[in-house]
Structure 1
């Protein structure tokens, strides 16, 4: 994960794979590039005609270019499957996209409007009567949207200088499975990263303390007493010994945590280690990144077991120091999280996947006799066929009873098409500020443990601050991403507002107890909130039958759970196939370079 210079990103660039040629044994994709730089040009671009897709038969069709869909497309292409990847949008990424300020505002505002049922002229209406067409619909997964601006339009110009993540806050751990997948597939060649400079935890007395997440950080931390440092160091050594880090096999067996302890609640194991409340909060919420209040089992929706907790700690510790140019455990992609799905789309395109943006799917095609899925009817009127179908999380898919042979297919689907099952919700906020929370620190993570802000706050609140050195905002401005799992919009937004207000107050007061890692961080700084957007995002479940449907961005800081769900979905589609085979290095590299 090297950090190198990169030319400025073109605004609103679309790529359509329109043809492929083979020359000298090498497979070349011919890409048509359209750059939309203004609203006038955007309106002009609306007059384009839908491209005709050739061939029309594929092993896999994927609708939506979110991260899970893009990974499945890349993995399928890597095992030799023919893939058609469509997106009704004019941008890559779906719910994992990064937008300019204008695009971000437009997207959220569009979620508050009823979709227009526009009639699309059918340029190729002939269809075999053996198929039944089922209209494909979508559901809105965003609600309670509030956009507030305290700045003039000049303060936030140019809009295209912003890359706002729809699913923030989100980072990658240096040692997690997504980074390994990118290295294995070669997707890392299409995206660059910088490390998050520091992590802080909020205390109930209103101060921010540096998270002591390594031996050197513990040694330098001035907010911990000598006893607390020894307790934390001893616990970290216990976790490292359990996983055999720097230990022989014999020593590892002797120092493993017992099976009984591994199955017990993590909070009970921490208490058993005689750790004080302050140390437990650091371990639970700022390193293991646990969401729900573990101190209140009766109200906790996810009481974490010790085996899961120590695995999270091991991931964090393995991430620290993995890359020499990463300051800590966390990475963030330059130009925003939307670069990740694009990286996997490029990986799939190199393997021969065909990409078409701004191509809505009008309906699904089912065989009248077998009642199985067969293909898609596109907005252009063209029918394309595939053995398998994967769709993004917003689409409403036919319910399982569709395949019943005892009722009329068209009638049953019109009655049986179901909304995606909602599995909770997450409150998100994006803020633009002038000035950093901590002086001399651009990119940082702040964790508010449960009940540190409000008595009724049952989940942790996470805030990720990013600066212009990540090419996500203009110079002297900063982005704040805030999120918290919640049961309802009122509860979630209350926690977000409390966190934002606390940060602004924190930054205006001197903190003499913070770590000496950043000697100037106690200087008085006064960030100004210029703009904010707050919204509630639904968390949908993955659907596997009868048609595969991918997950929404979850409430976690990282991508581990999303990748696990994606891999499981891939194995369901192609049982026994290797998930993302390792990319082979180009042949005769030395000759080409010479």
Structure 2
């Protein structure tokens, strides 16, 4: 049990030596509530007793304070040193969502996992920042008082905007790993599409479809026949195919078969199948049909929209999977600079990781591209391990009103199909608010993003920014997207892909499944896990 009752911080659950991140959050909490300052905590000095804030709060209850003693700190320091002397099955670098899911799955499998991050917080690209962190990251200054944005601790602003498909792969992983017990979700209020200069809601039921302005009367009848075909199509029953071969004939041919207009094709392909561009039109129809079915199943699950969102922001997701890993014996170390990733000079295979002059031995390593030379020249071995495949431009916007044209929705997704604004790639808007515990009361966070096509990226998202109304403040970033150059099976170095421009987690889950199979040699099977012996309050 924790000293003096209370609960362990998540960073301490089975992970001695990794509590620096919790200290940082505790310090931020103290600063935001004008409480007395916390003593700075370091592993190399004797410490007085101090207050410690739990990093894990799950959304069900406010965080609780824990009092730790010098004896605990000494024990943690000793166990930290011991952890660096051990040999692991897998070292995981970076605490982005992909890495944390893999860490959790491998720990459940019984692998001995060490998870390290150079940052003193969880999340990597999928982190959620409070107001001070947001302004420090983009402006290197505190939030302006004249904007009256409210309390720092009310904010959890996502760096990467994504929503969870209610029937998608991430939902299945959350359920089958029982990570849902650490999280609470809220439905996104609506899914919208931009067409002919205005925003229209994607229908969530038959009555909305009848009233929708997206299609005329006769087009609605043709679209209904199309959706009935998708709903009734069965791969192993040729009688449902109506003479159409979905594995060889293109999606363009299927649209033509039902006589659908170009605007309807835009709405289906981009707002429902969620393709980023029109390349899918000339590919076999089956993948698009599967995507439409997933959207329809997700919509039918809860109504209103197919999307879910975790309270307190997307940064809760990697933390929840980190806790899963810790419960099954995984060791976490944050604020750990990685000096080198070591390979045997003769075999070329991974042997371990050096951090702060100490080397940890392991059989395999998994990590995000930033640990393997992303944006840098080739290393000493002369090997290029990751390549840039594109860039995403994102604008995080703070509003004090709902987005106009969304029926005052407290949250929504808006897709601007590329054909509507003369682009190759769609523009996306993801909006959440205080209803999701990510902003102060009556404050909305809208993130506009797209794949960069020109030398002036910020100009490319103007069609999205113009839909938002008055913007109190905005933070623009251009993010490179990286992919590994090899599978990792020849050297036991397995690199994940960057978070892409999609608005959902399906491609991320594909990456999880592929890396898992390469690491373990077997496909990922989402079976309900047996509960671990988790202590009360862990």
Give the TM-score normalised by structure 2: 0.81
Q: Which runs of 5+ in 2 are unaligned?
A: 1-8, 45-76
- Show the counterpart of 2:68: none
Q: Structure 1 residue 45 and structure 2 residue 40: aligned?
A: yes
Q: After superposition, what is the alpha-carbon deviation per residue over 1:201-251, rounded to whole angstroms, capped at 9, x for unaligned?
A: 1122x221111254343134355432122122111101001148xxxx8xx
Stretches of 4+ aligned residues off by more than 4 angstroms? 17-20, 29-33, 38-44, 151-154, 300-304, 577-581, 585-588
The answer to whether residue 526 in structure 2 is matched with residue 497 in structure 1 is no
Q: Alpha carbons of 1:243 and 1:485: their partners in 2 closer, same or farther (altered >3 Å)?
A: farther
Structure 1 residues 172 and 227, CA gap change in structure 2 (3 angstroms): same
In the alignment, structure 1 residue 385 sits paired with structure 2 residue 361: yes
Unpaired runs of 5+ in structure 1? 1-12, 21-28, 111-146, 295-299, 399-411, 505-527
Instruction: Give the paired residue count.
Output: 477
How far is the alpha carbon of 1:537 from its aligned partner? 1.1
Q: Distance in 2 between matches of 1:582 and 1:224?
A: 43
Q: Which has the higher contact order (CA 8 A, sep 6+)?
A: 1
Q: Say if 1:218 and 1:272 are closer, same or farther in 2 by CA, change over 3 A.
A: same
Conserved 8 A contact 2:89-2:364: yes
Write out aligned runs for 1:99-498 (5 A): 99-108=129-138, 152-168=145-161, 170-204=162-196, 206-221=197-212, 224-243=215-234, 252-256=237-241, 258=243, 260-292=245-277, 294=278, 300=279, 303-323=282-302, 327-379=304-356, 381-396=357-372, 413-414=379-380, 416-418=382-384, 420-437=386-403, 438-453=406-421, 455=422, 457-490=423-456, 492-498=457-463
Q: What is the Cα deviation at residue 257 of structure 1?
A: 5.7
Change (3 A) 1:226 1:421: same
The separation in 1 between residues aligned to 2:200 and 2:297, in whole angstroms, is 22
Partner Cα distance (1:579, 1:266) in 2 = 30
Is contact 1:435–1:478 with CA below 8 Å preserved after alignment? yes
Q: Tell me the residue number matched to 2:504.
A: 558
Secondary structure of the equivalent of 2:501? coil
Please say if residues 197 and 444 of structure 1, whose CA atoms lie closer than 8 Å, have aligned partners that are also in contact.
Answer: yes
**179 and 105 in structure 1: CA distance in 2 versus 1, 3 angstrom threshold:** same
CA distance 1:569–1:261, shift in 2 (3 Å): closer
| Of 550, 568, 576, the match for 2:522 | 576
Q: Is the 8 A contact 2:225 2:258 kept in 1?
A: no
**Contact kept in structure 2, 1:16 and 1:357, CA below 8 Å:** no
Change over 3 Å in CA distance of 1:46–1:264 after alignment to 2: farther
CA distance in 2, matches of 1:369, 1:261: 49
CA deviations over 1:546-585 (Å, ceiling 9, x no partner): 3211111111111111111121111111102655553125
SS for the counterpart of 2:136 is helix
Correspondence for 1:539: 481
Deviations 1:253-306 (A, max 9, x none): 3112656454333233212311122322211111111211x3xxxxx5985431
Partner of 1:122: none
**Alpha-carbon displacement from aligned partner over 1:315-359 (angstroms, at most 9, x marks no partner):** 001112224xx5321111111111111111111111110111112
d(CA) in 2 for partners of 1:427 and 1:72? 27
* Contact 2:280 2:288 (8 Å CA) reproduced: no
Q: 8 Å contact 1:360–1:378 — kept in the other structure?
A: yes
Residue 101 of structure 2 is matched in structure 1 by 71
